[in-house]
Amino acid sequence: MTFATTNTGMCRPTRPARAGLMKYLDVYRSRQQLARLDDQALSDIGLTRRQAEVEAARPIWDFTRD
C-alpha cells in the first residue's frame, strides 16, 4: 500500500484564525499608539497619562474591561 503525503512546513491559517490574529495585532498597535500620545492629545480624549500607561501595559489578549 502506498501513501502520498505533502508537507509544506507551515499551514496557512484559516480565515477565522487570521481574523483573530489581526484582532490581537490591532489591539497591540492601538495600545502602542496610545502610549506615544502627548499629554495634550490624551487630555483631548479625556485620559490621564497614568490611564494611558495602564491601558498600554495590559496583556495583548485582554480586549475587554471587567
The distance in angstroms from the start CA to the end CA of the chain is 57
Look at residue 66 in the predicted model and tell me its pLDDT: 46
Q: Which amino acid is at 51?
A: Q
Range of the domain at 39: 15-57
CA of residue 31 relative to chain centroid, distance: 8
Of residues 54 and 64, more confidence is placed in: 54
Any idea which residue has 484582532 for its cell? 23
Q: pLDDT-derived band of residue 5, with 50, 70 and 90 as boundaries? A: low
4: in domain = no
What is the arithmetic mean of pLDDT over 55-62? Answer: 90
Q: Is 30 helix (H, G, I), strand (E, B) or coil?
A: helix
2: in domain = no
Q: How many domains does the chain have?
A: 1
9: in domain = no
9-56, pLDDT tens digit by residue? 666 767 778 888 888 899 999 999 999 999 999 999 999 999 999 999
The H or E element that residue 21 is part of is helix 15-36
19: in domain = yes
Look at residue 6 in the predicted model and tell me its pLDDT: 59
Look at residue 4 in the predicted model and tell me its pLDDT: 59
- CB–CB of 31/55 below 8 Å? yes
64: in domain = no
C-alpha cell at 10: 507551515
